[in-house]
Amino acid sequence: MNFFFLTLLVIIGITDSRSEQYEVVGPVDPVIALAGEDVILPCSVKPNISVVDMRVEWFRSDLKDSELVHLYEDHDDRNTNQSQSYRGRTKLNHEELQRGDASLKLSSAQVSDEGRYRCLIQSKSWSGNATVDVSVEAVGSPPVITVDGFDQSGGLLLQCESEGWYPEPVLEWLNSEGGRLSSETEERHRNEDGFGVKHSVTVYERDSKIHCRVKLKHRMLETLIIATSNMFNLWRTSVILISVAVVLSVNAGILIAVFTKNNRKFDQRLQNQKMIILQEITHLRTHTVDVILDADTAHPHLFVSLDRKQVSFGETLLEIVNGKRFNDYLGVLGKDGFSSGCFYYEVQVKGQTEWDLGVARASVNRIGLTVVSPMIGYWTVSLRNGECWARKSPLVSLPLSVNPQRVGVFVDYEKGLVSFYDVEAMSFMYSFTNQCFDEKLYPFVSLGYLRNENYTPLIICDDYF
């Protein structure tokens, strides 16, 4: 009898020692989940043994009622009592259970999923559990930089704003060298979509490239704005105009009032970026050139007006002149070219449904259907099927709210810059930057390829207001 009890104690001791050898383990560090994406909550038995015949329970230990997240028992998922917020979003890999892996897949992570989870594994002879801490991050909208005018010293006022982050992000301003700029005002709020932040900063002409960076510990979004010298010249121009207005006659009294009012708006921060574009275009117009179209280069189906300021599509086929004409592309060059400095011109495109505007080298190929791009000497924007494009390779879509009525073209030859503006809407369209010009550039206008059923002319503008 004594031998029987001794044998039983030995067997129990061996069983207990084996039970003590198994351990349920989870991750050492918190699991980081990105809102909207799937995440794995690790949990396994070490050494690896099958848990197919065991009970696996996942629940939230940080909540008062310990909500059931997922239950596996008797070889099947038993989620009748599962918390409503996890319905249809949890899954165990039954094949991995054979290898002791009871990790839980949680689909479409939500901010409310953040918390402490417990993985409990039970057999008839032993049980163990592990804790998994889950942090959820939500990446918000890309930061948007807006220009808010100038301060009294000519500094450019910028605001950067972004919404929908979790947890609360950090917003930083960086200059061209990557150095931090101090925010002057900071706003933050929280709603059902997460945290929103808005910071403002004042920059000066030496700060050509300004970055707004919004980041969490593991995520980051960044936006860049290039503050051109033209922007700062606008402020100087406005101050000069106001000074000149003081000495004008009584007939200029209205102008004095307008500029004085505008100056007050500058002091209180301009609220509308259109004012910035208006002032920039005003500055660019100091480089206006008198564009005369060269009728000898016009496609045979193009009619150039007697004053060489308008071009339209016509049914009459004109004669070829010394091989100068475009023969497929409905284009025409300006009479005069430019090989230095800056020049600017505007074209009325109102009513026309297909056009190209910009500049071209004198040596461009005018024969055949040319793929217009800077590579072969064209720097243009175009309208096709109601959509605007920058004609480079590949094409760049210009998402404008309305089709332009009047387009301004500006060239800085030495800087390799060609910029386009929607003059009526007071908005910037596109810039070709860092180009290499090695011969004369000519104003270039076109009505598309081969044929244009719209007979509305393109008009070189002289009525600068």
Q: Is the pTM of this model over 0.75?
A: no
Final residue belonging to a domain, choices 71, 102, 137? 137
**Domain span holding position 103:** 21-137
How many domains does the chain contain in total?
3
Q: Are residues 35 and 175 in the same domain?
A: no
* Residue 60 reports pLDDT greater than 60: yes
User: Mean pLDDT, to the nearest integer, of 449-458?
Assistant: 88
Q: Give the C-alpha separation, 44 to 129, whole Å.
A: 9
Q: Are residues 316 and 448 in the same domain?
A: yes
Per-residue model confidence as pLDDT tens digits over 351-385: 999 999 999 998 888 887 667 889 889 999 999 88
Q: Are residues 391 and 326 in the same domain?
A: yes
For the residues of 228-250, what is the DSSP string, one character each? -HHHHHHHHHHHHHHHHHHTS-G
* Residue 131 reports pLDDT greater than 50: yes
CATH code: domain of residue 221: 2.60.40.10
CB 435 within 8 A of CB 418: yes
Q: Are residues 132 and 145 in the same domain?
A: no
Q: Is residue 273 part of a domain?
A: no
Per-residue model confidence as pLDDT tens digits over 311-326: 998 877 766 656 788 8
Q: Are residues 380 and 401 in the same domain?
A: yes
Q: Are residues 130 and 191 in the same domain?
A: no
266 band by pLDDT with thresholds 50, 70 and 90? very low
84 band by pLDDT with thresholds 50, 70 and 90? very high
Q: Is residue 374 part of a domain?
A: yes
pLDDT score, position 453: 85
264 vs 33: which has the higher pLDDT: 33
User: Mean pLDDT, to the nearest integer, of 196-203?
Assistant: 92
Final residue belonging to a domain, choices 201, 227, 253? 227
CATH code: domain of residue 373: 2.60.120.920
User: Mean pLDDT, to the nearest integer, of 337-358?
Assistant: 94
Q: Is residue 380 part of a domain?
A: yes
Consecutive H or E run containing 21:
helix 2-21
* Residue 22 reports pLDDT greater than 80: yes
pLDDT score, position 242: 36
CB 288 within 8 A of CB 465: no
* Residue 256 reports pLDDT greater than 70: no
Q: Are residues 132 and 163 in the same domain?
A: no
User: Mean pLDDT, to the nearest integer, of 266-272?
Assistant: 42
* Residue 116 reports pLDDT greater than 90: yes
User: Mean pLDDT, to the nearest integer, of 51-65?
Assistant: 93
Q: Is residue 348 part of a domain?
A: yes
* Residue 198 reports pLDDT greater than 80: yes
Q: Are residues 220 and 92 in the same domain?
A: no
CB 112 within 8 A of CB 134: no
Q: Give the C-alpha separation, 198 to 81, whole Å.
A: 43
User: Mean pLDDT, to the nearest integer, of 119-140?
Assistant: 94
pLDDT score, position 227: 67
Q: Is residue 263 part of a domain?
A: no
**DSSP three-state, residue 104:** strand
User: Mean pLDDT, to the nearest integer, of 156-172?
Assistant: 92
Q: Is residue 169 part of a domain?
A: yes
Per-residue model confidence as pLDDT tens digits over 211-253: 899 999 888 888 888 766 555 454 444 443 333 333 333 344 4
Q: Are residues 307 and 446 in the same domain?
A: yes
* Residue 71 reports pLDDT greater than 90: yes
Final residue belonging to a domain, choices 185, 200, 227? 227
Within 8 A by CB and 6+ apart from 231, the residues are 147, 156, 276, 280
Q: Is residue 16 part of a domain?
A: no
User: Mean pLDDT, to the nearest integer, of 14-33?
Assistant: 76
pLDDT, the chain, mean: 83
Q: Is residue 384 part of a domain?
A: yes
User: Mean pLDDT, to the nearest integer, of 283-287?
Assistant: 88
pLDDT score, position 43: 97
224 vs 461: which has the higher pLDDT: 461
Q: Are residues 306 and 391 in the same domain?
A: yes
Q: Are residues 132 and 158 in the same domain?
A: no
pLDDT score, position 257: 43
Consecutive H or E run containing 159:
strand 156-165
pLDDT score, position 157: 87
Amino acid in the structure at residue 282: T
Q: Give the C-alpha separation, 30 to 321, whole Å.
A: 77
User: Mean pLDDT, to the nearest integer, of 119-127?
Assistant: 94
Q: Give the C-alpha separation, 69 to 81, whole Å.
A: 9
Q: Are residues 131 and 151 in the same domain?
A: no
* Residue 16 reports pLDDT greater than 80: no
In percent, the amount of the chain with pLDDT more than 90 equals 53
